[in-house]
């Protein structure tokens, strides 16, 4: 009998495993594609502070303080033949704590201690009784991720061993067990959110996208990336990047609202807030169609001359002609020149001054070059005169001043001795001729 019951248990496990694969498929993790949670149209005046609300308590990662007590599985029983409300049978936390509620069930009901490691949350009933028949539900709760999954199994008790077995009725598994035999109510879910824990900081990310008017969703521009670890990245055009912000404690409060300050007409478009929690399988998207309106005109003060009121009580031009009040006044605004214009004018002045200095230096250099050329020309002429050969025969010796020149020692190169002697005779002083003037006069008188 014991061998027969063991064989029957293994047959039930094989039959139920195929049915569980079909039943557990819909209860898998949420697909990675973002689901649109909300879509709204908001309108703000230009120049005001625009706030696009995007809040989710499921994205608060700091609330996971209980760690292994965040995941829990419990089995409930309802729909018994004797009637009565549903009652809790057994539950177990991911830390391994297991609790059986009814004293009669202690030792009869058991959950695997490794349920949160291998994903097998099946309930084993050691000996089935008539009161055990009914609808059993396997409930998986993740308090941090706010996930709730349920699997139903119908248990029937029979006295005929041939009727024992398991089948699928289209909605749930139906298990028929012989009285006194063990029954295994299968509940398997191997999704990572139930079997292990990850660092939430690395599994959570929020980003904002912007679609200008006429741009489809797949070509949206990324504005911000926020990570639970504290890292932030800003994208988008410069005129919008410096005016958008999300609170620094966004992940602590679950508030990822986008603030645009001040709002400009060019900010119109479609904004979307994407919330991704890969650990919890959360992928949500909130869409905002932003419209920018003209700012409300402030009414002029009552005592100003523009509204037609004055101390004298005379009606203003608006009272005389009602069409003028509806028209828009034209205001001439003189925009002061910026810093760039000043530097541009300064550059022109410095360039002109530099050009003048270069021209002056060129003139000075040209003048000095011309003067130096004149001096060289005069030196060449004098050099030619000095280098000319002197012919001693050309000098006249009639004057008395030649004695000075003859006394100079002129070093000449002679070809032979005859020429040298002639030259020495020419250099020797002439004999002094004594002339007696009285004698010459007497000769002339005597004649």
Question: What are 81-111's pLDDT values in tens digits?
Answer: 777 788 999 999 988 888 999 999 999 999 9
Burial 106-129 (b: 16+ CB within 10 A, else e): eebbbbbeebbeebbbbbebeebe
Residue 120 vs residue 412, higher pLDDT: 120
For residues 160-184, give the mean pLDDT.
91
**Residue holding tokens 């990336």?**
225
Q: Mean pLDDT for the chain?
A: 76
pLDDT at position 73 is: 95
How far apart (Å, rounded) are the C-alpha atoms in residues 16 and 26? 17
Domain 35-61+197-293, CATH: 2.60.40.10
How far apart (Å, rounded) are the C-alpha atoms in residues 269 and 52? 12
**Residue holding tokens 């009565």?**
84
For residues 154-166, give the mean pLDDT.
91
pLDDT at position 326 is: 46
CA–CA distances in Å: residue 330 to residues 222, 264, 316, 327: 39, 22, 18, 9
- Kindly indicate the confidence band of residue 376, based on its pLDDT and cuts at 50, 70 and 90: low
Residues making up the chain, counted from first to last? 447
Given a cut of 80, is residue 56 above it in pLDDT? yes
**Residue holding tokens 């298990």?**
175
For residues 254-270, give the mean pLDDT.
92
Q: Is the CB of residue 224 less than 8 Å from the CB of residue 207?
A: yes
Given a cut of 60, is residue 394 above it in pLDDT? no
Residue 375 vs residue 273, higher pLDDT: 273
Which residues have CB under 8 Å from 133's CB, separation 6+?
80, 81, 155, 156, 157
Question: 2-27+66-195, which class in CATH?
Answer: mainly beta
Q: What is the DSSP letter of 127?
A: S
* The two domains 2-27+66-195 and 35-61+197-293 share their CATH topology (first three levels equal): yes
pLDDT at position 189 is: 93
Global pTM reads: 0.52
User: CB-based burial of residue 132 (10 Å sphere; 0-12 exposed, 13-18 middle, 19+ buried)?
Assistant: buried
Sequence spans of domains, the chain: 2-27+66-195, 35-61+197-293
Given a cut of 70, is residue 151 above it in pLDDT? yes
For residues 49-56, give the mean pLDDT.
92
pLDDT at position 275 is: 94
């Amino acid at each position: 009998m014991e061998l027969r019951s063991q064989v029957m248990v293994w047959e039930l496990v094989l039959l139920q495993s195929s049915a569980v694969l079909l039943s557990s498929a819909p209860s898998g993790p949420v697909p990675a594609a973002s689901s649109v949670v909300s879509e709204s149209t908001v309108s703000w005046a230009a120049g005001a502070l625009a706030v696009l609300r995007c809040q989710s308590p499921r994205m608060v990662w700091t609330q996971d303080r209980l760690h292994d007590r965040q995941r829990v599985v419990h089995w409930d029983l309802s729909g018994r033949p004797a009637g009565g409300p549903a009652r809790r049978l057994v539950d177990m936390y991911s830390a391994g704590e297991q609790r059986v509620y009814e004293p009669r069930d202690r030792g009869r009901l058991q959950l695997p201690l490794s349920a949160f490691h291998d994903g097998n949350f099946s309930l084993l009933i050691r000996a089935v009784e008539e009161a055990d028949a009914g609808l059993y539900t396997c409930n998986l709760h993740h308090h941090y991720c706010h996930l709730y999954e349920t699997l139903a199994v119908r248990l029937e008790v029979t006295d005929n061993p041939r009727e024992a077995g398991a089948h699928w009725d289209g909605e749930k598994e139906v298990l028929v067990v012989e009285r006194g035999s063990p029954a295994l109510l299968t509940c398997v879910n191997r999704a990572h959110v139930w079997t292990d824990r990850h660092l939430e900081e690395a599994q959570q990310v929020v980003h904002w996208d912007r679609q200008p008017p006429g741009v489809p969703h797949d070509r949206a521009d990324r504005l911000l990336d926020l990570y639970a670890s504290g890292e932030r990245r800003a994208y988008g055009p410069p005129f919008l990047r410096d005016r958008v912000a999300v609170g620094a404690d966004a992940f602590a409060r679950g508030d990822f609202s986008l603030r645009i300050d001040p709002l400009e007409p060019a900010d119109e478009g479609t904004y979307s807030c994407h919330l991704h929690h890969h650990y919890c399988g959360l992928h949500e998207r909130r869409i905002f169609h932003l419209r920018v309106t003209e700012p409300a005109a402030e009414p002029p003060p009552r005592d100003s001359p523009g509204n037609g009121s004055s101390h004298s009580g005379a009606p203003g031009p608006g009272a005389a002609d009602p069409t003028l009040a509806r028209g828009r006044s034209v205001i001439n605004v003189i925009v002061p020149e910026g810093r760039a214009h000043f530097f541009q004018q300064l550059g022109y002045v410095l360039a002109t001054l530099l050009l003048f200095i270069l021209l002056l230096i060129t003139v000075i250099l040209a003048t000095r070059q011309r003067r130096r050329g004149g001096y060289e020309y005069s030196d060449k002429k004098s050099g030619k005169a000095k280098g000319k050969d002197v012919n001693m025969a050309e000098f006249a010796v009639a004057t008395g001043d030649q004695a000075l020149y003859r006394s100079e020692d002129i070093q000449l190169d002679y070809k032979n001795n005859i020429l040298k002697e002639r030259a020495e005779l020419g250099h020797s002083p002439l004999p002094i001729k004594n002339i007696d003037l009285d004698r010459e006069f007497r000769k002339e008188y005597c004649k």
